[in-house]
């Protein structure tokens, strides 16, 4: 009987520790990028009066985990030959690689490899998207 009571005590203590752990987990306030912190999206004014579904109209979100930052890079090339179809009046012509590249080294590798065969004389990698 004593053993069973001790077992119940241990279970109760474990449950209490789990609840305390849940309560101490901090929520992180993050600006809503979908609506630029306004809580509304004018383009969707005809749907629930444009309330932002991402943040429920609050303009911010409370997240359990730190938001993951996702960066995207695009690359561009400079063609010096005026007869080349991609000649852009001496300016770098930005091109998309599908959805862009997820890392700067990946974009640089792709640009260097492409430059060896596409006839360009210079390349540029730029950050175009940084979202959570």
Report whether 75 contacts 123 (CB < 8 A).
yes
55 binds Zn ion (CB under 5 A): yes
With CA atoms as reference, report the closest residue to 80 among 127, 112, 115. 115
User: Is the CB of 34 or the CB of 72 nearer to Zn ion?
Assistant: 34
Report whether 55 contacts 35 (CB < 8 A).
yes
Q: Which of 24, 26, 27, 35 forms a contact with Zn ion (CB under 5 A)? A: 35
Site for Zn ion in 5-34 (CB under 5 A): 32, 34
The Cα–Cα gap between 92 and 124 comes to 8
44 binds Zn ion (CB under 5 A): no
Report whether 60 contacts 39 (CB < 8 A).
no
User: Is the CB of 49 or the CB of 82 nearer to Zn ion?
Assistant: 49
54 binds Zn ion (CB under 5 A): yes
Q: How far is CA 17 from the centre of its chain?
A: 34
User: Is the CB of 34 or the CB of 84 nearer to Zn ion?
Assistant: 34
Binding site for Zn ion (CB under 5 A): 32, 34-35, 52, 54-55
């Amino acid at each position: 009987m004593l053993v069973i009571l001790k077992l119940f005590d241990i279970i109760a203590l474990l449950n209490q520790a789990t609840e305390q752990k849940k309560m101490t987990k901090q929520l992180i306030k993050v600006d809503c990028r979908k609506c630029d912190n306004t809580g509304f999206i004018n383009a969707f004014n005809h749907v629930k009066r444009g309330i932002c579904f991402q943040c429920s109209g609050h303009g911010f979100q409370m997240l359990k985990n730190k938001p993951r930052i996702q960066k995207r890079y695009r690359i561009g090339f400079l063609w010096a030959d005026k007869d080349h179809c991609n000649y852009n009046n001496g300016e770098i012509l930005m091109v998309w690689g599908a959805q862009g590249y997820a890392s700067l080294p990946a974009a640089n590798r792709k640009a260097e490899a492409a430059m060896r065969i596409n006839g360009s004389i210079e390349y540029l990698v730029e950050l175009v998207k940084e979202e959570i």
